[in-house]
Amino acid sequence: MGLEVNAVYLSYVVHVLAVAGSVMVLVWNIHFRGGLAWESTNKNLIFNVHPVLMLIGLIIMGGEAIVSYKALPFKKAEKKLIHLILHAIALVLGIIGIYMAFKNHNESGIANLYSLHSWLGIGIIVLYGVQWVYGFLVFFYPGGTGDLRKESLPWHVLFGMFVYILAVANSALGFLEKLTFLESSGIAKYGSEAFLVNFTAIVAVLYGTFVLLTALSRAPAEDNHSYSAI
Ligand code: HEM
């Protein structure tokens, strides 16, 4: 399946939304929520690292990793390296982001893993890790046989898109959950912070949409087989 649209043009929309989403999540957590901290007596500052790293790390770096394979004007081997490095960064930032949510809970005496968001979150990070390791072993080092690569590729693309869609949807659940907590402890339902959080989630969903559209669109003319002959 392929869209008859040039991937490069769609990838520009992806980059613009990446900048918008990153700025919005930082403004929310630094300006409205008081800042970010690894260690602090104010445990909320430790939590704030979670949405920042999940959005900028897992979702945005992960999305850039996906579009890099399709839209960058480099040779296949170079794009493959960029693809796997960006995904590794996304995965590591995602793991640190989840660790910060646990750290906040543990240091504040809050139970762990009680929500749908957290259960899906664990599933997503495990699947993302499995996908990365399998991709590394089969397509990069030591590398599978030609047949194994050929058979694995459509599954790699399909499974990668599935995990990515789940991650974007789960980040929307996370924004909803946090805003619901904040509204029950007093922030205005139609206030500027509430609008900022909801619009950040909308930008995340739009970002994910354009990442997938780019992945399904036409690669630049000189390299029309990015997804068919790794
Ligand atoms: C795909 C991205 C995300 C993943 C994989 C993820 C994963 C997780 C996990 C595993 C926990 C459980 C921590 C614990 O039990 O100690 C958690 C907690 C939490 N996350 Fe996320 N998260 C993501 C994005 C977000 C975003 C963008 C927000 C926005 C604020 C958010 C808000 C929360 C909240 C409020 C909690 C604490 C309550 C709870 O455990 O459900 N998350 N997250």
Q: Which of 76, 215, 222 is nearest to 157 (CA)?
A: 215
Q: Cα of 159 to ligand 1 centre, how many Å?
A: 22
Which pLDDT band, with edges at 50, 70 and 90, does 221 fall under?
confident
Residue 81 to residue 176: CA distance in whole angstroms: 35
Q: pLDDT tens for residues 47-71?
A: 999 999 999 999 999 999 999 999 9
Cβ(170) – ligand 1 distance below 6 Å: yes
Q: Cα of 13 to ligand 1 centre, how many Å?
A: 27
Q: Cα of 163 to ligand 1 centre, how many Å?
A: 16
Residue 100 to residue 113: CA distance in whole angstroms: 13
25 in Cβ contact with 56 (< 8 Å): yes
Cβ(60) – ligand 1 distance below 6 Å: no
pLDDT of the residue at 53: 99
Exposure string over 197-225, b if 16+ CB within 10 A, otherwise e? beebbebbbbbbebbbbbbbbebeeeeee
Q: Cα of 100 to ligand 1 centre, how many Å?
A: 9
Cβ(226) – ligand 1 distance below 6 Å: no
Q: Which of 229, 220, 203, 210 is nearest to 19 (CA)?
A: 203
Q: Which of 25, 18, 105 is nearest to 67 (CA)?
A: 18
pLDDT of the residue at 228: 47
Which class in CATH covers the domain with range 3-218?
mainly alpha
Q: Which of 129, 186, 128, 135 is nearest to 156 (CA)?
A: 135
